[in-house]
Structure 1
């Protein structure tokens, strides 16, 4: 008996091989069976904001920051009827209109004599009264003005001597200010100096006769072109537009149920007419009259009609205060979720995107803010989200981000407000699968890193971007694009340190880092080599540990009172996952295993938490300890505390959570290489529970349990105790039932049997059990028979490699030991 025990070659302690000289296909494909395991976790949940506001209730912006409001009232009186501000948004200084008296002249020069008062004062009074009456009738705002003179920015700000009161004169039809029944009939003619309408290119305050001093009143080429355009516009105005405006006025005065629908149809007709006549923008000479009519309709307070009005006003290129109010009007409509359908049936989204592309932050910052705020609301609708992607929203957003990052300090605050809305919109866009290639192709992920650098103190912006990264970093193409952004790891660590108190930001940045380090050795190394990496992560770990919840804690209370226990646990889950992934790198793992603070924090978590309340957290801690336990070196702090860890693992092993049981079993698989840990397992009857795990139909649980039993069977006194629990028979059943589908498990079961039956312990199996085991081993040793169980052709090579390398060598040794016993029997 003693001689047989000496000749028996026991299988090596259970510790799946790593960095073997010959790297097999099984080791490449089977990541789930590696000693060092990548940890996964759920993405942090972001509750939907039920209230559509510029800045939600969780915003870090306080009211003292003078942040723009989300609620306000708008009426027609809020709009500037003349719309006379220049398109650049720069308000010109008022002009000095002090009259200048002409120089004295000789009385003999009749042309330069002073004007004399009329000889009949009563006749003069009668003339003034008649002119005033005509002025009041023509300029009344209660009805649509039937006559409108072309009003331009320069005309309004710099009236010429003959244009002091444009509304007080009834200009002839040649000046496009009267609606004639027949535009071909000639009207009363005026002198050229009075009938010329100043073009936008003319100098302010210069009359045409002065501009062409010394020339005849002939019309040149440019003037003839302008005159032709004016004639065409006059025809369109007289034939169509004037009638539409009058109908808008008359319908608006009614009170029928179909009033709104009729007004919307008229607005659509007006828009189509202006577009067909190329009169949109500021090219329309009578846009003042159109805008006046549209502004008065706003008081009807119809969301459907107001969207049509806003579309027309934006098409007519309103600016300044009017642009701001139109954007506010659209924002007000967008706040109602029930109005989303109106935006789907209206091209107003194109107008909003046009504003984002063209308006300057320094002059129209607040208008941009409400414009992007509207898109933020609408992007929460899946149908509109698809529209935004089709309308090149991603490219426009990237260009706007670049402009906002170049804003100077004087407009930094409004740029930050806009970026809050823009990043929230991108966060919604990230939900759509089709957006992911666009985030990559337009380099938006890298641009967002630049935003983080410029606005690192703005918690709202940083939180929104962290949500984008946490969503997109779960996908390989986005993860690669983010990893290629220079210094992104250092940036994330700096944000974690700066905003360590803001849980929703911290947890998402950690989740992103966990995704980046999940499958990239380069990412693990780059993160570890960043300045202050471990100091930042371990300080966060300590801050969120919640030591004061333990009844044995006598230290100061936790400073983290703003978070719930579940939120603090969520931070630790994501943080420990980062540590577990980092230590897979062969250059990082030994450093973490030698960190006293790191190991102490992990053990402290095991001691403070219970499985029922913090299951995922404790599972991640066990997985990290399992990864660190691979580095069994003299510098390893874990090796010096492995007996303490073995005791702490009991709460996981004996819990009702199979995930916790599995991770604890894996830890025992590595720690049981130590004689002290094996003795602890046997003394506390842990081996009984391990044998029971062989009855579970989970290949992962059985594989880990077989590994621990393989190590326990290295000690001769343990073999009898394990066999008395029926371990040998259960191992045979495990081999027969699960082996053909998992040759790694079959090989591990054979290793456990080899160690248990060695040294004269063969009789621990009954004759029937030995015969059944030998029959199964001989059958499974045939390649054709072994691989016929594999239906998936793509995995056939993988299973063949596992069969050849993991199962067959140990199986042949077992057959060689059992056959002589059968022959002797």
Structure 2
């Protein structure tokens, strides 16, 4: 190797097999960095409503947030336990029979089940036909022909005289004839129950399924009453409907008096007294374990409670609703009681009432046990009430302890499974999911919320919902709010990043909802979070079709939107800060979107395969420069800092196609205004970019004319270690040019660099290495140490280098107060690998050219 060429080559131009000093920008702690930003601001809802004020839902298809509700809306017939059997509706519309058809039906004899059996028997009583038995009991009511001689054609009922023969069942065989009641009782070895008088009227037709555990069956407009003696109606049914004397005594002695007293209060009732009685009633029933579907007095109690629901006092309403929920009603009553609770929960002044008793447990149990298909609307209001209540910090913590997250996660999984099984999504389920996700958004703030989300698979399911309901703006907004919270943590980011479909969903949402700031800002914030902590996520997102074009489209859309706002003087405040779309001058939502999108691009560019591609994207670089050129550091500090950080990442890649390199002078000119400000962060970010750009001679010449090299020397006194580090990196490149070296000595840079080495070297050997590299490049053509550095400066520098190159002396002070073993290893490694090689070379050069004689000038 030619010694002359070796001597004249700048320090950073080392052989290819040796790491060049210019690569300190790559190896430095801050060369390629992820960008940090604040979570999007979420204003507190002024009113508790079922859907957001900005909802795009059709008012005709969505459930109402406000409604009237009173006792008339509750159905007494639904208060009985249901059989669980659903009957299909008839396909035809029934019509009233004509008089001729009635007369024909009455006069015509019904053929027997057995064709060989004669139509009539000698001596038989009047023929009965179409005899039925309701619910398998002993109360048989038959339709018979008119007696001989009647001509009016009307249906009549046979009088129930004691000696009347009980008609046998239709189509029964000879051995299946029904015995008279007295005979049947004797045959069974039991006392016969009294025959029910026909004055009771015609019973309801038979129902599918029997009553539950002997409970009374209450019909609409008629009722089936048990006998006064409490005897059974039939053998097998009697065992199921056996009379419980204990139940009767409880109802008579404790329950009925309370109900009577509650009902006797009248319209002008004492609400305080009514609330106390409702509490007493609940305690009695709960203590005796009668708050079940099987309690035979359940229907009577519920009917009485329903009649009291015209009360307007929230405390009383909630206590009555508590009783109804505890009895596990269904159908229309479940819907209305959920509406009732929803109505009370809408006013945050009533929150304290939910902290009393166990109403929260009942709401969670209702969500857990209710069929989301059959009772979809009821769940909308029930989960909606939970959503409101999670806005109260005290209730929020209590709900979390009661496994509310697990319950909502179960409902979420069930809905997801139903949609998957049906092969389509249900809009009605979407109404539930909006309430559910809004509640989960609040529950995510609980201390254990994140861990429970991970344990129950909530994050994965929410990711699937984004793909299933991309058009539901409300649902998308709440899911993005949840993700913006949980992805602040690495474990949640990892789970979401592993959902490969989420990248496609996020890009699709940005395209579809590009004009919705609240959605876009959160989706971009989430993308920024997962790409900040996962290099694989960077590649997956960038490789998603149209990902980069979508991000740039969002960036361009909101940048143009900001330009249009700026052109309207009425939207600009006196300090130049633009008002937000929601009228809150403290929040610039357009700037916030730009910040989040720029951050995603900055994080993507860290990947060594993605970064060069983005750096070559001319439109991307032009948009970033346009943002810097149009913004002011005083009003848009975070946006400018993030944009400069993104340009810094892109400027690291010096490929032939780099748009940064192609526009390097323009970039340098735009950044100059930041170096001139008194904003330390702005100076630091701009200096980082200069550290990359000054690798080019044309940029160094441009910046030198603007006295940037002089500014970098001044920054050595800043006391900010990171800023000093970056300033040294820029000076390394400036010292490559011989014509720019004298400025370092002229501005006192030698002394400043020596002081930096003395002040920070023991704590930061990497910084000490950078200082030595500046001085090595500066002294490339040294002939005399004293003339190059100055006599006093040279001696101070020698003393520091000698001390720091002694391992025992240097590291003893570095490690004395350090207790972290990993950090001790790091300090030893950087001292040996980074500092010693450069410091040794510099010390050798200084000592080689140190002499008391000044060199003679060459003869002219």
Deviation at 1:677, TM superposition (A): 0.6
Residue 72 of structure 2 corresponds to 77
Aligned equivalents of 2:287, 2:121: Cα separation in 1: 59
Q: Which residue of 2 aligns with 1:231?
A: 245
CA drift of 1:83 comes to 2.7
Does the alignment pair 1:191 with 2:206? no
SS state at 1:518 partner: helix
Aligned twin of 2:627: 605
Q: CA deviation at 1:805?
A: 1.9
Contact 2:79 2:298 in 1 (8 A): no
The question of whether the paired residues in 1 share the 8 Å contact of 2:441 and 2:482 is answered with: yes
Deviations 1:516-573 (A, max 9, x none): 11122211111111111112111112212227739999xxxxxx99688922221121
Alignment of 1:64-213 (within 5 A): 65-83=60-78, 87=82, 112=126, 161=141, 191=194, 201-202=209-210
Contact 1:771–1:822 at 8 Å: present in 2 too? no
Unaligned runs of 5+ in 2: 110-118, 129-133, 143-190, 212-216, 225-230, 568-578, 854-860
The corresponding residue for 2:370 is: 359
- Pick the aligned partner of 2:508 from 479, 485, 494: 494
Q: Does 1:706 align with 2:702?
A: no
Match of residue 804, structure 1, among 829, 832, 836: 832
CA distance in 1: counterparts of 2:17 and 2:483, whole angstroms: 33
Question: The residue matched to 2:375 in structure 1 has which SS?
Answer: helix
Does residue 1:418 correspond to 2:446, yes or no? Answer: no
How do residues 760-771 of structure 1 correspond to structure 2 at under 5 angstroms? 760=782, 762=785, 763-771=787-795
1:173 matched residue in structure 2: none
* Distance verdict in 2 for CA 1:784–1:205, change over 3 Å: closer
Question: What is the CA distance between 1:425 and its match in structure 2?
Answer: 0.7
Residue 713 of structure 2 corresponds to which residue in structure 1? 691
Aligned twin of 2:49: 53
Match 1:738 to one of 723, 748, 760: 760
Deviation at 1:390?
2.1
Change (3 A) 1:517 1:544: same
Q: 1:679 and 1:232, CA in 2 relative to 1: closer, same or farther beyond 3 A?
A: same
Give how far 1:774 is off.
1.6
Q: Which residue of 320, 323, 347 maps to 2:358?
A: 347
Q: Who wins on radius of gyration, i.e. which is larger?
A: 2
Residue 497 of structure 2 is matched in structure 1 by: 483
Distance (whole Å) between structure 1 residues aligned to residue 499 and residue 310 of structure 2: 51
Task: Identify the residue that residue 12 of structure 1 maps to in structure 2.
Answer: 12
Structure 2 SS opposite 1:633: coil
Identify which of 444, 462, 465 aligns with 1:451.
Answer: 465
Task: Give 1:813's match in structure 2, choosing from 824, 835, 841.
Answer: 841
1:320-348 deviation digits (Å, cap 9, x = unpaired):
22222211111111111122221122211
Partner of 1:786: 810
Residues 590, 631 of structure 1: 8 Å contact kept: yes
CA contact (8 A) 1:5 1:759 kept: no
8 Å contact from structure 1 (residues 13, 673) kept in 2: no
User: Which residue does the alignment assign to 2:385?
Assistant: 374
What secondary structure does 2:532 align onto?
A: coil
Q: Which residue of 1 aligns with 2:518?
A: 504
Cα root mean square deviation, aligned = 4.1
**C-alpha spacing 1:218/1:515, structure 2 compared with 1 (3 Å):** closer
Q: Distance in 2 between matches of 1:202 and 1:344?
A: 39
What SS does structure 1 have at the residue aligned with 2:559?
A: coil
Report the Cα offset of residue 635 of structure 1.
1.8
Report the CA distance shift for 1:683/1:254 in structure 2 as closer, same or farther (over 3 A).
closer
Partner of 1:618: 640
Cα 1:109–1:266 change in 2 (3 A) is: farther
Taking the aligned partners of 1:421 and 1:661, their CA distance within structure 2 comes to 47
Is the 1:669–1:707 contact (alpha carbons within 8 Å) kept by the matching residues of 2?
A: yes
Q: In the alignment, what sits opposite 1:395?
A: 406
User: In structure 2, what is the equivalent of residue 308 of structure 1?
Assistant: 319
- The structure-2 alpha-carbon separation of the partners of 1:69 and 1:31, relative to structure 1 and needing over 3 Å to count, comes to farther
- In the comparison of the two structures, how many residue pairs are matched? 735
Shift of 1:584: 1.3
Unaligned runs of 5+ in 1: 115-153, 163-187, 210-215, 554-559
Where do 1:381-780 residues align within 5 Å?
A: 381-405=392-416, 406-407=418-419, 412-546=426-560, 549=563, 566-760=588-782, 762=785, 763-780=787-804
The Cα of 1:318 is off from its aligned counterpart by 2.1
Query: Is contact 1:13–1:711 with CA below 8 Å preserved after alignment?
Result: no
TM-score (ref. length: structure 2): 0.77
- Tell me the CA shift for residue 111 of structure 1: 5.3
Q: C-alpha separation between the residues in 1 aligned to 2:501 and 2:842?
A: 55
Q: 1:299 offset after TM fit, Å? A: 2.5
- Aligned mates of 2:64, 2:497 — CA distance in 1: 38
Q: 1:540 to 1:237 in 2, by over 3 A?
A: same
- The whole-number CA distance in structure 1 between the counterparts of 2:709 and 2:540 is 42
**Residue 646 of structure 1: how far off its partner (Å):** 0.9
Query: Cα gap change, 1:217/1:458 in structure 2, threshold over 3 Å: closer, same or farther?
Result: closer
Q: CA deviation at 1:436?
A: 0.6
Rate the CA distance shift 1:160–1:451 in 2: closer, same or farther, 3 A: farther
Given the two structures, how large is their TM-score scaled by the length of structure 1?
Answer: 0.81
The answer to whether the 8 Å contact 1:85/1:320 transfers is: no
Quick one: higher RCO (CA 8 Å, sep 6+), 1 or 2? 1
Per the TM alignment, residue 615 of structure 1 is displaced from its structure 2 partner at its CA by 1.8
784 and 334 in structure 1: CA distance in 2 versus 1, 3 angstrom threshold? farther
Cα distance in 1 for residues equivalent to 2:685 and 2:711: 14
Contact kept in structure 2, 1:743 and 1:802, CA below 8 Å:
yes
Report the secondary structure of 1:808's partner residue. helix
User: CA contact under 8 A between 1:192 and 1:217: conserved in structure 2?
Assistant: no
SS in 2 for 1:604: helix
Equivalent in the alignment of 2:338: 327
Q: Distance in 2 between matches of 1:614 and 1:254?
A: 62
